[in-house]
């Protein structure tokens, strides 16, 4: 184990030339990011998960009821042991041959069996009430963390001059605000990872699981490597659009279609302007060119920038999906009720804090 850890924390991968981990140990004069700082995120993630349950039960649910959102789920399929066994153990989408076999076995017509499987699949989908509560919780968190990020960053020099992200790197002291920002973001995504195993299992379970793992990995990566300054910029930039998409979802669940359309349009404009405009001009410019000029490349620098470039490609793909959804919505006269950003595999690279 000691050998594995020594290999993983190889200074020549993580740090610039002539810098060692010993140089970044905390002193009386300065505090630097330490991997063990992030241990706090685990118990805090559990606390956030419990806060979410309380919030959804005593705040989001009454709000949903006030908006006439019912708790009724889809119509339940009638109990049938044979079909249930096929559904749980074999397939949720039986082919024509299996449908014919079940029809003979049960003496049901094929259409009735198809309806049973459709109703049974719908049973596993969360109710509109549950979706509304989840979106309200995420909206509340994203609004808080975005507001915090803006209030914190407007006082920092690197918001106005991105070269400040690299001056004196990696000997940039860790402030209480940066530590709080990182730990809170990491705790939130850990709580989302945990909640996947307690919430109703959805068809995008694996995609979302991989997204959360990637997000958590990149938060840790940027913190340990002390790329926290540029990480805070990435987090704040991405949080802005998250607030609007969750608000649009809530309006959709509440059947406020005009408000939903307006919020979706605002989200689409903000998403594409921030991800296709601000992100490459502001973030990629500083991580690729300004950092090369001031610090110079080293192995983890290449990895970090590769992930950021991949993120830009994903931004382009997601923007295409948004435009496609908007065009389809315009042709139908409303925003699709089924729109759900590859919920962050829309954000599949939450770098330094988010979207892997």
Answer yes or no: do 53 and 92 share one domain: no
Q: Is residue 222 part of a domain?
A: yes
Q: Do 157 and 144 lie in a common domain?
A: yes
Q: 230 and 90, same structural domain?
A: no
CB-count exposure of residue 276 (10 Å: 0-12, 13-18, 19+): middle
Same domain, 288 and 155: yes
Alpha-helix runs per DSSP H in the chain: 2-8, 11-14, 41-55, 61-66, 81-89, 96-106, 110-123, 128-153, 157-160, 176-195, 205-224, 228-253, 257-273, 291-294, 299-332
Q: Determine the structural domain holding residue 309 and report its residue range.
A: 1-67+126-353
Q: What is the pLDDT of residues 90-144, one digit of tens each?
A: 888 888 888 889 888 888 888 898 888 888 887 777 788 988 999 999 999 999 9
Structural domain contains residue 237 = yes
Compute the distance between CA of residue 292 and CA of residue 309 in angstroms, rounded to an integer. 15
Q: Do residues 214 and 300 both lie within one domain?
A: yes
Angle subtended at Cα 190 by Cα 127 and Cα 344, rounded to the nearest 5 degrees: 60
Residues 143-168 have pLDDT tens digits of 999 999 999 999 999 999 999 999 99
pLDDT in tens, 287-325: 999 999 999 999 999 988 888 888 888 888 888 888 887
Alpha-carbon 235 to chain mean position: 11
Domain assignment present for residue 72? The answer is no
Residue 15 belongs to some domain of the structure: yes
Indicate whether 17 and 140 sit together in one domain.
yes
* 76 domain residue, yes or no: no
Residues 25 and 111 in one domain: no
Number of domains in the chain: 2
**Interacting residues of 83 by C-beta distance below 8 A, sequence separation 6+:** 77, 102, 106, 113, 116, 117, 120
Q: Are residues 153 and 182 in the same domain?
A: yes
Residue 74 within a domain: no
Query: CA 326: distance to chain centroid?
Result: 22
| pTM (whole model) above 0.85 | no
DSSP secondary structure code for residue 288 in this structure? I
Are 100 and 110 part of one and the same domain?
A: yes
């Amino acid at each position: 184990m000691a050998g594995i850890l020594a290999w993983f924390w190889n200074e020549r991968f993580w740090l610039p030339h002539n810098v060692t981990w010993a140089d970044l140990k905390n002193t009386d004069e300065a505090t630097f990011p330490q991997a063990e700082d992030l241990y706090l995120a685990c118990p805090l993630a559990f606390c956030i998960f419990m806060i979410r349950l309380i919030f959804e039960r005593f705040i989001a649910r009454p709000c949903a009821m006030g908006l006439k959102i019912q708790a009724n789920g889809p119509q339940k399929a009638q109990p049938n042991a044979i079909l249930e066994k096929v559904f749980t153990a074999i397939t949720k989408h039986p082919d024509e041959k299996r449908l014919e076999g079940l029809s003979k076995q049960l003496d049901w017509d094929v259409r009735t069996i198809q309806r049973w499987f459709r109703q049974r699949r719908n049973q596993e989908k969360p109710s509109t009430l549950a979706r509304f509560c989840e979106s309200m919780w995420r909206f509340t968190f994203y609004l808080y963390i975005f507001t915090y990020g803006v209030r914190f960053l407007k006082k920092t020099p690197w918001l106005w001059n991105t070269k400040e992200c690299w001056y004196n790197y990696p000997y940039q002291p860790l402030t209480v605000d940066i530590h709080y920002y990182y730990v809170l973001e990491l705790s939130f995504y850990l709580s989302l990872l945990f909640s996947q195993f307690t919430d109703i299992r959805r068809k995008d379970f694996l995609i979302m699981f991989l997204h959360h793992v990637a997000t958590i990995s990149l938060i840790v990566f940027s913190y340990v490597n002390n790329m926290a300054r540029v990480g805070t910029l990435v987090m704040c930039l991405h949080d802005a659009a998250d607030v609007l998409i969750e608000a649009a979802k809530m309006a959709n669940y509440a059947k406020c279609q005009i408000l939903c359309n307006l919020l979706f349009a605002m989200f689409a404009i903000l998403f594409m302007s921030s991800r296709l405009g601000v992100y490459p001009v502001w973030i990629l410019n500083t991580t690729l060119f300004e950092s090369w000029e001031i610090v110079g490349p080293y192995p983890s620098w290449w990895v970090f920038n590769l992930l950021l470039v991949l993120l830009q490609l994903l931004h382009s793909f997601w923007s295409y999906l948004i435009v496609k959804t908007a065009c389809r919505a315009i042709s139908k006269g409303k925003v699709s009720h089924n729109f759900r950003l590859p919920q962050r595999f829309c954000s599949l690279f939450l770098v330094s804090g988010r979207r892997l």
